[in-house]
Amino acid sequence: MAIFITGATGYIGSYITDWLLRHTDHELALLVRAPDYDAGVERLWKSLQLHMKADEFHRQLDRIAFISGDLIQPDLGISAPDRDWLISNAESVLHNAAALNFRSERACTNHNVRGTLSVIKLARAIQEDHPLRRFTQVSTVAVAGDRPGTVVMEDEPLDWNQRDFNPYTRTKKLCEHMVRELLPDVPCLYVRPSSVIGDSRFPETTQFDMVRAVCVLTDLPVLPLSPDVRLDIVNADWVGASIAELHVREDLCRDTYHLSAGNESRTIGEIAEAFSLALGKRMPRFAERLAVPFERVMEALANMPRAGNLQKLGALLSVFIPYMMADIVYDNRGTLSTLETAPVPFTSYGPSLYGWAKSVGFRYPYRPLPEHMDLSNVPPDPIRPMA
């Protein structure tokens, strides 16, 4: 029996997949946008090379089935033979795929809402064939809404009267609702990461949007923000491992977990001080009164008709400034007591991430599979080769 995973080749998905391969003996069925087996291998290698060397990657391939498909296609674009195989062989579903697009309602609706509905329909078909052990929905703490200065508890129900941050958070809230309504007879788990930035163990990353925003703000001599606002930032290695572990655990006593920094969230002032000390920079001045005007300027730049450097800067910062003004704490005590691990403070690893990201021009130096690894000689997947 296999764990069916969506979004395995994405940033957080790569951490989930790596943890499951290292810490369990589960077979994994991965939904990938690839036309054949070799293309699936190449796509997965691009994702997992952040975590393992090529020889280890090669050894893990016999535990992986590549399911060709696409989140926005009808029935996920999965062929009839692969769908029949999944219905018979999937023991659980871990739905991680999503459009991390904070500005496009259309992209978020297509990927997050329509895609999740298709995954739910597949889960329903599996449940009718045999009981699913678990359906895990990877969500976000921001489904709680834009609630400045509040503490959001893990067991709070969704509040539809709260203002949403953006199309991403709005559609992710709807996705949680659909899972609850349409899979009432399936054990469901909702994991809600906060802002995931970087890896606490090494500076390399393959996800740069939020990193770029941090770098831009770090380089400003004056920050149009309050130094007292708390930023809930968590490291990807903790988030990915937590999602994977929670998915396979049998002893969970709740269905919702905040993968957040909680009360250990650092303030903008603390983060700025840590960066300044580590990088040998002068501490920036803070001008909280400029926060709203700055946000409006960035929004105006984001809406410029032509895509250029200014438009890209505006699109980037107009998304993240609202989070940096909200000052929301997402309680994580249930998560910490269950996992007995905690996220690493961003102040301890953020400066090295800043330096590495700028040194590579915000582009991960992907490596092709070594020449001596001839994919044509890879034996067929014993779970199921891609059709």
Q: What one-character DSSP code corresponds to residue 262?
A: G
Write down the architecture of domain 2-194+234-261+328-344+363-377 according to CATH: 3-Layer(aba) Sandwich (3.40)
Nearest to 5 by CA among 73, 272, 20, 366: 20
* Model pLDDT, residue 372: 47
Q: Which residue has the tokens 């990877």?
A: 138
Task: Sketch the domain layout of the chain as residue ranges.
Answer: 2-194+234-261+328-344+363-377
Q: Are 258 and 335 in contact (CB under 8 A)?
A: yes
What confidence tens digit (pLDDT) does each residue in 297-346 have? 999 999 998 878 889 889 889 888 888 899 999 999 999 999 999 999 99
Cβ atoms within 10 Å, residue 58: 17
Q: Are 29 and 5 in contact (CB under 8 A)?
A: yes
Contacts by residues 124-131 (CB-CB < 8 Å, ≥ 24 positions apart): 124/182, 124/183, 125/83, 125/87, 126/86, 126/87, 126/90, 126/93, 127/183, 127/185, 127/186, 129/87, 129/88, 130/88
Rounded Cα distance, 158 and 141, in Å:
11
* Model pLDDT, residue 306: 80
Rounded Cα distance, 387 and 385, in Å:
6
Rounded Cα distance, 40 and 176, in Å:
29
Q: Are 327 and 148 in contact (CB under 8 A)?
A: yes
* Model pLDDT, residue 371: 62
* Amino acid at residue number 173: K
What confidence tens digit (pLDDT) does each residue in 194-225 have? 999 999 999 999 999 999 999 999 999 999 99
* pLDDT by 10-residue block (mean), the chain, 387 residues: 97 98 97 95 96 96 97 96 98 95 89 97 98 98 95 95 94 98 98 98 96 95 96 98 98 97 97 97 95 92 86 88 92 97 98 98 94 50 41
